[in-house]
Amino acid sequence: MFVLDAHLDLSMNALEWNRDLTRPLPEINSREESLTDKPDRGRATVSLPELRKGNIGLVVATQIARYVKPESDLPGWNSPAQAWAQTQGQLAWYKAMEEAGEMRMIKNKTDLEAHLNAWNTDKHTIGYILSLEGADSIVEVSYLEKAWESGLRAIGPAHYREGRYANGTNSTGKMNQNGLDLLKEIERLGIILDMTHLCDDAFWQAIEYYSGPLLASHNNARRFVNHNRQYSDEQILAIIKRGGVIGAALDAWMLMPDWVRGVSTPENTGCSLEHVVDNIDHVCQLAGNANHAGIGSDLDGAFGREQCPYDLKTIADLQKLSVLLDKRGYVSSDIEKIMSGNFLNFLRKNLPE
């Protein structure tokens, strides 16, 4: 079944983790066997060959570079200009993948349909829609148009804690004037607003101030894990009411209550793909249909097999979700919507002409 993954940090893995994603996954992990700088070394699940193996022909691929204040313990860049430069390096990697025939940027509706037709005959060149996770690298609001011209089609204003434009996970507080100005520019340019990571205060503010298309690329339900990284039923319903789609994420701490980083394991907590289906099903039950649920795996988003469902060894195993949905009683047409159709329909409506 064709799969659309609405959130993959491919360029971050290529540049910051120094992974050659064009290589087979066993080779990538073998190269990292002796490395200890990051907890997921040798446990990667994503490579371009594995995307092809899993018939994951279209992804929302990110740029990500956080600005951090000098006193912060979060990893990041010490000035917005440095963060911007990092995103431009990430963009250069995507362009290099395009030149090599590995990937294809989707900028508009025509590109989308052409790519889907091409994938039907040659499942090699993976389509991607460029997204920015966290807006801290937008040096000033005028830079957003530069990003648009380079192909940016979706943006999440926040990431973790306090941001320059909006506060994110593990924080509270409404957007400042810069954040509201950013929302206006996002709407003017026709960029898709990704609600993922927005703290509760900023979430409801965005619902009020922004009238354009919105989604949550990789968000799970607070019903299962009571943390502000997840969204409450009221927030999920607000996205549904606006015609958005919510992509289920595969990070174990977002699936299992009381997960302890570095201590818990998928095996000793029983974290499986069934928990991902629980989140998908919850969105469908709230909506009363299967039109607003999708997949935004976030695989290898600074974690690997040590922190994802134990029955997933590579991203190609996303195909197992269709089998589990079938066992839950979902009909084939609804399974196709969840695996790709809902996000495809959203993009058909909201990408530029």
| pLDDT tens for each residue of 35-53 | 999 999 999 999 999 999 9
pLDDT over 90, % of the chain: 97
Give the pLDDT mean for 222-248.
98
pLDDT attached to residue 72: 86
pLDDT attached to residue 73: 87
Q: Does residue 69 surpass a pLDDT of 90?
A: no
Q: Does residue 83 surpass a pLDDT of 90?
A: yes
Give the pLDDT mean for 290-294.
98
Q: Please state, in angstroms and rounded to a whole number, the distance separating the CA atoms of residues 86 and 114.
A: 30
Q: Which two tokens stand for residue 69?
A: 């204040």
pLDDT attached to residue 150: 98
pLDDT attached to residue 266: 98
Domains belonging to the chain, first-starting first, are 3-350 (3.20.20.140)
Model pTM score = 0.97
* φ/ψ (deg, to 5) at 351: -70, 155
Q: Does residue 58 surpass a pLDDT of 90?
A: yes
Confidence at 70, pLDDT banded by 50, 70, 90:
confident
pLDDT attached to residue 210: 97
Q: Which residue has the tokens 């087979």?
A: 24
Give the pLDDT mean for 135-152.
98
Q: How far apart are the first and last CA of the chain?
A: 27
Q: Which of 15-24, 66-75, 98-107, 185-194 has the lowest mean pLDDT?
A: 66-75
Distance from the Cα of residue 291 to its chain's centroid: 19
Confidence at 12, pLDDT banded by 50, 70, 90:
very high
Give the pLDDT mean for 193-215.
98
In sequence order, the 6+-apart residues with CB closer than 8 A to the CB of 329 are: none
Give the pLDDT mean for 148-156.
98
| pLDDT tens for each residue of 84-141 | 999 999 999 999 999 999 999 999 999 999 999 999 999 999 999 999 999 999 999 9
Q: Which residue has the tokens 């990003």?
A: 147
pLDDT attached to residue 347: 98
Kindly tell me the sign of the dihedral angle through the C-alpha atoms of 268, 272, 276, 282: negative
Please report which helix (H) or strand (E) contains residue 274, including its range.
helix 273-287
pLDDT attached to residue 288: 98
Q: Which two tokens stand for residue 176?
A: 């400042």
